[in-house]
Structure 1
Amino acid sequence: MSADTPIGFTVGTPDTSSVSILKYKVVYLNEGGDYNQSTGVFTCRIPGLYSFTATMFKTPGGRESYCYFYVNNHKYMPVSSGTHDTSDNMSGSKTFVFMLKVGDRVYLSNCGGIDLTNQQSSFSGFLVSI
């Protein structure tokens, strides 16, 4: 794989039965193959600057849903649907930019309210520069 090989993924339809790391049922793009659908983990093969975005939708009538970004085992701030209001279908997104080394793992975990997460929720990442 050369330095000009595109790296990026977009996944959606969260598996609300995920126990630890949030997994997604649909892979829309997995250019470079660094996202593993069976584990829910992106593993870096080309070091560089990466951007990751997660969007959480809660189902109408549901409570807030959220997950934390992790790099390796380090927990960062959560992405959240942003409300405890049960009357609407609120959403929230968060983008993080990380300098990754070969073997670094990025994933969403430590989720709450995931059983009421709307199927429109998604997770994406891509290599910005080497």
Structure 2
Amino acid sequence: MNLTMLWFVLLLCGLISAQDDGTATVTENPNEIQSCSPDMCDLLVEFGAMREKLRAMETRLEDSETRLRNSETRLRNSETRLRNSETRLNESETRLRNSENQILELRNKEGTKVIFSAVVGRGDKAIGPFNTDITLIYRRVITNIGNAYSQSTGIFTAPVAGVYYFNIFYHAGRAHASGLHLYKNSQVMVMTGHQQSDNDKPDNGGNAVFLQLQRGDQVYVRLVANAYVWGSDYDTTFNGFLVTQI
């Protein structure tokens, strides 16, 4: 039962009591009591006080509900800001990891050293001529930083992608033609040589090239058919190094 209904019930009881004993008179305004019995007057006074307390409690309850809603709103805003902060933190961590990876990659590039120099190294023996092309093996290794050149096969294998520099040089007599081809995988890149001549003195020759290689590409030198070079420990060489990693 709400407050208004309770008020009318009590007022009706007061009217009925007043009519029964003739001691109470109520005006049309329910807040103005002309006369009533002592018990009824006390009850109405207590009821009025209770109504004021109830109104005060309702007001405080509404204020509390308002503060609660405001607190909930602030809490949601705080949660949103926290999620945004977490997102920014994750993005910062991702950028930091990417930066660290780039730094490590640069350090690895700077730390990669590939340099080799080798000589045929067959004493005073001539190599060739043969009736077919052969891969020339430079057996005397002077330098092989990075171990990319194989002393047993004569093949250089690129350890990293990059631009490399290679050169070849030979020394030979005039008794036979000379010819060297430098290959990248199965393709001739550069060559050097001379034709047989009875009038020439001993010949020297060479060539050089920059090659862009992928990791695993192979570079080697082949002595062409019917040609020869001197195989001493000092004359016929194969050299190369990594210029820049890409």
TM above 0.5, yes or no, is: yes
Gap runs ≥5 in structure 1: none
Once structures 1 and 2 are overlaid, which stretch shifts more, 14-23 or 86-95? 14-23
Higher strand share: 1
Q: TM-score, normalised by structure 2?
A: 0.47
Specify the alignment match of 1:85 in structure 2.
197
1:126 equivalent in structure 2: 241
1:85 positional shift = 3.3
Matched letter for residue 144 of structure 2: N
Q: Deviation per CA, 1:1-28, whole angstroms, max 9, x where unpaired?
A: 9322220111002552697211012000
- The runs of 5 or more residues in structure 2 that have no matched partner are 1-106
Alignment of 1:47 with 2:161, yes or no, is yes
- Quote how far apart the aligned CAs of 1:121 are: 0.7
- Pairing partner for 1:72 from 185, 189, 195: 185
Higher relative contact order (CA 8 A, sep 6+): 1
Residue of structure 2 in register with 1:58 after alignment:
172
1:23 matched to 2:150: no
SS at match of 1:2: helix
Is 2:108 the counterpart of 1:2? yes
What is residue 213 of structure 2 aligned with on the other side?
A: 100
Are the structure 2 counterparts of residues 110 and 118 from structure 1 closer, same or farther at C-alpha, using a change threshold of 3 Å?
Answer: closer
Which stretches of structure 1, 4 residues or longer, exceed 4 Å deviation after superposition? none
Instruction: Give the aligned CA root-mean-square deviation in angstroms.
Output: 2.3
Match of 2:3 in 1: none
TM-score by length of 1: 0.85
